[in-house]
Copies of this chain bind each other. A is one copy, B any other.
Amino acid sequence: MSSVRPKRSDVHHPEPDGQVVPKLCESCEARHRGVCGALPGDDLLRLSKISVRKTLKSGESVVCDEDDVISFSNVLNGVVKLSKLLPDGRQQIVGLQFAPDFLGRPFRAESHLTAEASGDVHLCSFPRAEFESMMRDNPELEHRILAQTLEQLDEARDWMMTLGRKTAREKIASYLLMIARHSAPQPPSGQGVAIDLPLSRGDMADFLGLTIETVSRQMTALRKAKVIEFDSARAVRIPSLRALERAAGE
Interface set of A (CB-CB < 8 Å, partner B)? 82, 84, 86-88, 90-92, 94-95, 105-108, 112-113, 139, 142-143, 145-147, 149-150, 152-154, 156-161, 163-166, 208-209, 249-250
Contacts and interface: CB of A to CB of B under 8 A. Distances in A.
A158 B112 CA distance: 9
Which of A82, A112, A156, A160 has the largest count of B CB atoms less than 10 A from its CB? A160
Nearest to A111: B154
B139 A92 contact: no
Given A88-B249, A152-B153, A165-B209, 7 more contacts: A86-B161, A92-B165, A94-B160, A139-B139, A146-B146, A164-B208, A164-B209
B150 A87 contact: no
A108 B151 CA distance: 10
Contacts of A88: 249
Given A139-B142, A142-B143, A143-B142, A161 B84 contact: yes
A208 to B, nearest CB: 7
A142 B153 contact: no
A99 to B, nearest CB: 20
A149 B91 CA distance: 24
Contacts of A164: 92, 163, 208-209
A17 to B, nearest CB: 23
Given A164-B163, A165-B91, A84 B146 contact: no
A84 B153 CA distance: 14
B149 A156 contact: no
A153 B145 CA distance: 13
Contacts of A90: 165-166, 249
